[in-house]
Amino acid sequence: MKDNSVIDEVVVFLPALEIGGVERMTLNLAEEFLNRGIDVTIVLARDAGELMNEVPESISIKILDAPDPTRFSLLSAVPSLSKYLFHKEPDVLLSFMKHANITSLLAQKISMIDTTVIIGERNHLSKALENEPWRREIAFRNLMKILYPSADHIIATSVGVAEDIESYLNKPLPVSTIYNPVVTPELKKKSKEDLDHEWFDDPDVPVVLSAARLHPQKDFQTLIKAFSLVDDRFDARLLILGEGKERDDLESLIQDLDLESKTDLPGVVENPFPYMANSSVFVLSSVWEGFGNVLVEAMACGCPVVSTDCPSGPSEILDGGKYGELVPVGSPELLSDAIEESLSNPIDETKIRARADNFSVDSIADEYLNIISSVKNSQ
C-alpha cells in the first residue's frame, strides 16, 4: 500500500443523503477514511435524506446555501460549492454521480484552487442517458465531454462502466476501476437482527426476494412474470422491498396474474439485511446497473443470488456465473428457470460469503487511497 500521509482531508460532494446505493457507499467509504485518520467532510446541496441520521458524529456535514439544487438544477449549487472550496482548500474533492461530478468540476474551475478532483461514475452512462429526454441527454453528454477530461482521475464502479465512459464520450480519459465498498461489519451485524414478517415463519415455504426502487430500470415486471411461472411448480412467496413510480403498474400485474396472496410489496424497509439473510434466493432483474450493490449485500448475508446479465456489474460480481446464475435481460422464462435451479440446488453459503468479502470496505478503501496518493504524488 502506498503512503497515504499526503492525504489530510477529503471532501465528498453529494446532492443529499437519500436512501440509495451511492449514498450508502459514500458513508461506508467516509467512515473507513476516518478510521485511517483522514478528516472527512460531506458537503450536501440540500439538507435532506433519510440517511442523515446515519452519519457518524465524527464526519462533518456542510449544507450549501443553494437555490433549488435538485436533479439537473444541481448546477445551481456551483457558486456555493466554488465559494466553499475557495475558503476551505481541501486536499481532495470526491463526487460520485454525473450531476454531482459536473457540479464539482465546474466549481473547482471557478474557485481556481489546486484541490485534487476525483470523480466516480456509478452508472452505465449510455444506458442511463438514453432514458433521459433528448435535450437533457445532449446537454449531459456535451458537459461531460468538456469537463470529465479535466478531472484528475475518474473511478468507475465496474470494468463495464469504465469501458462505457470512454466509448460514450469518445475520449481517452484517466479511468480506473474500483468496485463499491459494500460489505461492512455493520452490515453483518444488522443481518442478525430480528425479522418481523409472517412469511419467514415457515421454513418449508421459500421466499424469493428483491430490493430496489420500483422503477422501469429494475424490470420488476419481468421478475413478477417469472415468479408466476415458478408458482406453477413451487409453493413460494415473492417479496420486493422498495418504493417508486411503478407501484401501481406492478400491483395491477400481480392482480392480473392472481398472485396477490403470494407477492408482497411492503415499501422501503429500514434494515433489508435480515430479509436477505432469511430468504431462499435474491433476484436482480435489472435492465442495466452500474454495479449491483444489492447482489453483494445479499451474498454477504449468505443468500444465494440470481441476476440478469445486464450491463454492467453483475457478471463481474458473480464471476461470469460462478457464484450465481446469469440470465438474459427481459426473459421471464429463463429467469424462472434460474430461480427454480437456485431453490433446488443452492450454492454453498460459505462460498458466496467469501466472494462477497472481496467487496469489503477496508480493501476497497485501500484502493481508493492508493489512487488518491498516486494522483497527488504525480502533481
**pLDDT score of 68:** 61
Neighbouring residues of 354: CB distance < 8 A, sequence distance ≥ 6: none
Closest among 199, 271, 276, 212 to 240, alpha carbons compared: 212
Measured CA to CA, the distance from residue 5 to residue 95 in angstroms comes to 21
Single-letter amino acid code for the residue at 304: P
Measured CA to CA, the distance from residue 299 to residue 277 in angstroms comes to 9
Measured CA to CA, the distance from residue 51 to residue 199 in angstroms comes to 28
DSSP readout, 277-317? HH-SEEEE--S--SS-HHHHHHHHTT--EEEE--SSSHHHH
- Quick check: 1 and 370 in contact, CB under 8 A? yes
Question: Hey, where are the domains in the chain?
Answer: 9-181+360-377, 185-358
**Could you read off the pLDDT of 144-202 as tens digits, one per residue?**
999 999 999 999 999 999 999 999 888 889 999 999 999 999 999 999 999 989 999 99
Query: What is the 8-class DSSP label of residue 15?
Result: S
**pLDDT score of 65:** 74
Q: 9-181+360-377 with 185-358: one CATH topology?
A: yes
Instruction: Write down the mean pLDDT value for the chain.
Output: 93
What's the Rg (C-alpha) of the chain?
21
- The pLDDT > 90 percentage for the chain reads 79
Q: Phi/psi zone of residue 40: left (φ > 0), alpha (ψ -120 to 50 degrees), beta? A: beta
Model pTM score: 0.90
| Residue 281 vs residues 238, 355, 356: alpha-carbon distances, Å | 10, 16, 15
**Under CATH, what is the fold of the domain 9-181+360-377?**
Rossmann fold (3.40.50)
**pLDDT score of 56:** 87
Closest among 339, 108, 347, 304 to 227, alpha carbons compared: 339
**pLDDT score of 5:** 56
Please state which CATH number belongs to domain 185-358: 3.40.50.2000
Neighbouring residues of 135: CB distance < 8 A, sequence distance ≥ 6: none
**Could you read off the pLDDT of 85-128 as tens digits, one per residue?**
999 999 999 999 899 999 999 999 999 999 999 999 988 888 88
Assign 131 a pLDDT band (cuts: 50, 70, 90).
confident
Alpha helices in the chain (DSSP H): 21-35, 78-88, 98-111, 125-129, 134-147, 159-169, 185-190, 220-230, 247-256, 273-278, 293-300, 314-317, 332-344, 349-356, 361-377
